[in-house]
């Protein structure tokens, strides 16, 4: 029988892969995609617990997270376009204007 632990482990796997993507990739677009993976992993947790407790509030919060993900993607990609126009790069370690 499937327990809530199965979903937690699936969520943990997706979260870990997302964090690895954020920390190791140089391409900012792939980093943003990894953030989407992380948010998705959180959603699986919320929906699994919503099913476990028979309370629909978890799904409502998952909808809020999807909204946040949309806002974050829109603003983040806008920043990437603006930055690419100025510096001609999408690599995270070349974005060092504030570093000295």
Partner 1 sequence: MLDKVIFYVFGGIAVVSAALVVTRRNAVHSAVFLITALLATAGIFLQLRAEFLFVVQIILYVGGIMVLFVFVIMLVNLDVALQQIQFSRQKWVALLVTLALAGQVGAMLWWAGQPGKKTLPLPVSVAAPAEKLPANAEAVAHSLFGPYLLPFEIASLLLLVAMIGAVVMAKKKV
> Which of the residues 23 through 82 are near partner 1 (CB under 8 A)?
23-27, 29-30, 32-34, 36-37, 40, 43-44, 47-48, 50-54, 56-57, 59-60, 62-64, 66-75, 77-82
| List of residues 6+ apart from 93 with CB closer than 8 A | 26
Asked if 3 interacts with partner 1 (CB under 8 A), we say: yes
Q: How far is the CB of 98 from partner 1 (least distance, A)?
A: 17
Asked if 91 interacts with partner 1 (CB under 8 A), we say: yes
Asked if 8 interacts with partner 1 (CB under 8 A), we say: yes
Query: CB under 8 Å, gap of 24 or more: what pairs does 47-52 form?
Result: 47/7, 48/4, 48/7, 48/8, 48/11, 49/4, 51/4, 52/4
**Cα 24 to the chain's mean position, in Å?**
15
Q: How far is the CB of 73 from partner 1 (least distance, A)?
A: 5
Q: How far is the CB of 27 from partner 1 (least distance, A)?
A: 6
């Amino acid at each position: 029988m499937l327990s809530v632990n199965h979903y937690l482990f699936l969520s943990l796997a997706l979260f870990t892969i997302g964090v690895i993507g954020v920390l190791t990739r140089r391409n900012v677009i792939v980093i943003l995609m990894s953030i989407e993976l992380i948010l998705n992993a959180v959603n699986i947790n919320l929906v699994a617990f919503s099913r476990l407790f028979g309370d629909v509030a978890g799904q409502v919060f998952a909808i809020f997270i999807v909204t946040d993900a949309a806002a974050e993607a829109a603003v983040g990609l806008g920043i990437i376009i603006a930055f690419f126009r100025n510096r001609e790069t999408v690599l995270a370690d070349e974005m060092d204007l504030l570093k000295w």
